[in-house]
Structure 1
């Protein structure tokens, strides 16, 4: 009960203001707002017919009412997102999304039309549109819809809550401090999503409000979580001059097709936004030297829109193949022969740290094999030994632990430590 009361309070916040606005806004909406409501209703009806979304299923109002541990996750112009723990048997953490009554979308509408009831309903159409799209689009890069709740004590359009996967918001500054392999994965996830959106069952879809805040990470997978501003229509045109794709620092001229649509404008809009918000920052920073020319080609081609999503995805897949196979490694004299291999018991102990480490306790990096690990150890002034651990990254590459301390090695275990020959002689291992 305590969780239910907390949920009701948060969903209705600020409660007193909401009640006051509702009392002021009773009655039929003014004609200008009524026209907007009717237009939104028509748009939703057309989208639903085109989407042919499967019948609503999954969790419903009982799950929302029984949720506990409710807390604020985020809010935007239109929507409020709360995190909550569902009751058994599910017991999972989810995101509950509803109209943000105190958000700018509703507030601006109230100032313009003076009808809070109608303005909340107008905003709810955005949530309903997103609900239709989430039920229609099935892809790992689209946040999963677990269910929805309609509060039937009011007009069904007045109180809608969607139950979604709960993700972690993207923090670009933090991402820049993660290993390159993890940042590459985010960019790869994104281009795979954009490839799906360009060829979706509804046609080519543009994310009109394309920002990092529209995405979350769920178990390390990048997912789009905000679709209310998505467009399934490509810009109509009569001549090529109608097909200008403009961004703050660059503009592009596209072709007007024979059937009166700007050719590929949705796909190209998504791709350039991916370039300026994600690829530019996440792809080149600390990438392996041998892969940088391939990454530079991706940046140049997407920044000039010379590539479409098909070509961009192929370019990413090529980089992934080179990285996973180790073909990117430059052939150099072997460093591994300078090391003595010893069977040891592995002990996690705090040691020297390195940039972009997978561990907060020491220096742990992704490697292709022991040979690459030896080359890395040679490049670190503090490194005296390394262990290729059983831990793997998402590409299947092992993680190697680099250390300077030799005194805690215990011989006789089933792990192999590679110790610099000179250091082994000094310690008489």
Structure 2
């Protein structure tokens, strides 16, 4: 018995060690074989190609040729199979439908009947017919003449300006722009795409989006249809749709598409990777703890975005997936990053089918009028109510200036009942912005100062901080004010405040950042700052 017990213990130890080594090996493999990335040394020591082991198999048996003419030899019937089963026909039909949707957005964003020239079907994300791509330059050219250059040093503004100039000739960043990509880091994934952060020339960070082979869409499709190649093709059209919409819907609150990498080599499949502006995820819990001015800016950015989408060149655009995770912050500006679930389709209706114009939400429903065969304003109203329930309710009214709260409550109530459209909502938001920036919200302030304050130029107070909410710094009371009078009013409303320091920093609205202090015993020199110390009760 003791011998058997020792043998069992040894077996358990071996199994535990084996599991540990497997986990370690899997972690290392994930680091070096990120979906869509692999370092290679045959062409360049530090080059990067976008692939995965399963993509190599895809390349051998089913290459993706986005946009070839539809037919038996087309993109919809590749892979070398003669399987014409019902399930395969269903998959090919889905691919065709997604393909046609992308073509419509590339051309006009209009009806399914829009004609598409054969040349454009060849490669949806290529340059216009007759233009040369970077990876296929004109004979005798090195392909670098019109290529936007990645600066070895410089600002984001300079880089964006170069891209803007290059986009006038429809030449985006391409695969060659990723030759020196470094610091590749996985950020996250959804149903379809995986997102990575990377640095170009070690000086400029971008986001790289590619189809996630381990994502829900790919796994469920392969499980149902058994074809990695066709399932990749189906999923890739969602990424191509998003890229097309980024091109067509250029706006300060839409993430910028810098370019794309579309590989065609013998050892990897035709996999597409989008190169976009990099933002940071929207964390609602953190936003609830930020000052009102920052939260108002996010809501204003969202309203400006929805106003643009309601009147876009493609028509009224609905964001069918409106969760906060579909947005990012670039600087402090809100931008929509996921557009693969956006739609310009308007619901058709008749006087006999009024139910088609009902918008259903978890908490309540809304019935819209049927006007000229379509549900009037359904895309706009869906966006606006989602903005109310995901953003306005939590971010807009809380801790706002007392004089502005009635206006803020009015916006929340009107959008929550869909009494306003996006035009009226934008007018009211811009009105609040002007009242706040100009200080007119303080005109009816009847506060009477109860103490005198002595000003000390080029002086600050070391330490002696106390916490207040919401503050720009969690370990102190740092707030924004329009004027000295407002700073005095804030100080006298805080029981702990005995002094405050006017900094030389301003917010996006021009308000001055002021640090409120619990005492003034530790004065210290500070160029550009002014300290006010309470001298009366």
- Give the TM-score taking structure 2 as reference length: 0.72
Compared CA separation, residues 68 and 348, structure 1 to 2 (3 A) = farther
- 2:73: which partner in 1? none
Asked if 2 retains the 8 angstrom alpha-carbon contact of 1:208 and 1:230, the reply is yes
Larger Rg: 2
Compared CA separation, residues 6 and 92, structure 1 to 2 (3 A) = farther
- 1:310: which partner in 2? 423
**Does structure 1 residue 391 correspond to structure 2 residue 505?**
yes
**Does structure 1 residue 31 correspond to structure 2 residue 145?**
no
Select the residue among 243, 248, 254 that pairs with 1:136.
Answer: 248
Select the residue among 473, 495, 514 that pairs with 1:359.
Answer: 473
Distance in 1 of aligned mates of 2:467 and 2:249: 43
Cα displacement (A) at 1:63: 2.0
Distance in 1 of aligned mates of 2:535 and 2:217: 67
Q: How does 1:21-420 map to 2 (within 5 A)?
A: 27-28=80-81, 30-51=88-109, 55=128, 56-87=170-201, 91-153=203-265, 158-239=270-351, 240-258=354-372, 260-329=373-442, 330-335=444-449, 338-346=452-460, 349=463, 351-410=465-524, 415-420=529-534
Compared CA separation, residues 376 and 58, structure 1 to 2 (3 A) = same
Cα displacement (A) at 1:337: 5.8
Cα displacement (A) at 1:405: 2.7
Alignment gaps of 5+ in structure 1: 424-429
- 2:42: which partner in 1? none
Distance in 2 of aligned mates of 1:24 and 1:218: 41
1:313-337 deviation digits (Å, cap 9, x = unpaired): 0111121122222222242244286
Distance in 2 of aligned mates of 1:230 and 1:7: 34
1:151-178 deviation digits (Å, cap 9, x = unpaired): 1127999410010011000000000000
Distance in 1 of aligned mates of 2:32 and 2:527: 53
1:339-363 deviation digits (Å, cap 9, x = unpaired): 1223242355462222221124421
Distance in 2 of aligned mates of 1:277 and 1:128: 27
Distance in 1 of aligned mates of 2:500 and 2:313: 50
Cα displacement (A) at 1:290: 1.8
Asked if 2 retains the 8 angstrom alpha-carbon contact of 1:206 and 1:230, the reply is yes
Which one is further off, 371-380 or 183-192?
371-380
**Does structure 1 residue 11 correspond to structure 2 residue 125?**
no
Compared CA separation, residues 12 and 236, structure 1 to 2 (3 A) = farther
Cα displacement (A) at 1:244: 1.0
Asked if 1 retains the 8 angstrom alpha-carbon contact of 2:505 and 2:512, the reply is yes
Cα displacement (A) at 1:180: 0.7
Asked if 1 retains the 8 angstrom alpha-carbon contact of 2:280 and 2:330, the reply is yes
CA RMSD of aligned residues (A): 2.7
Compared CA separation, residues 337 and 344, structure 1 to 2 (3 A) = farther
Asked if 2 retains the 8 angstrom alpha-carbon contact of 1:205 and 1:267, the reply is yes
Asked if 1 retains the 8 angstrom alpha-carbon contact of 2:359 and 2:366, the reply is yes
Distance in 1 of aligned mates of 2:221 and 2:185: 27
Asked if 1 retains the 8 angstrom alpha-carbon contact of 2:503 and 2:528, the reply is no
Distance in 2 of aligned mates of 1:355 and 1:157: 53
Asked if 1 retains the 8 angstrom alpha-carbon contact of 2:451 and 2:536, the reply is no
Cα displacement (A) at 1:217: 0.2
- 1:426: which partner in 2? none
Which one is further off, 15-24 or 226-235?
15-24
Alignment gaps of 5+ in structure 2: 1-29, 39-50, 63-78, 111-124, 129-169
Compared CA separation, residues 16 and 322, structure 1 to 2 (3 A) = same
Asked if 2 retains the 8 angstrom alpha-carbon contact of 1:205 and 1:230, the reply is yes
Compared CA separation, residues 310 and 127, structure 1 to 2 (3 A) = same
Distance in 2 of aligned mates of 1:62 and 1:7: 21
Asked if 2 retains the 8 angstrom alpha-carbon contact of 1:186 and 1:222, the reply is yes
Asked if 2 retains the 8 angstrom alpha-carbon contact of 1:6 and 1:70, the reply is no
- 2:25: which partner in 1? none
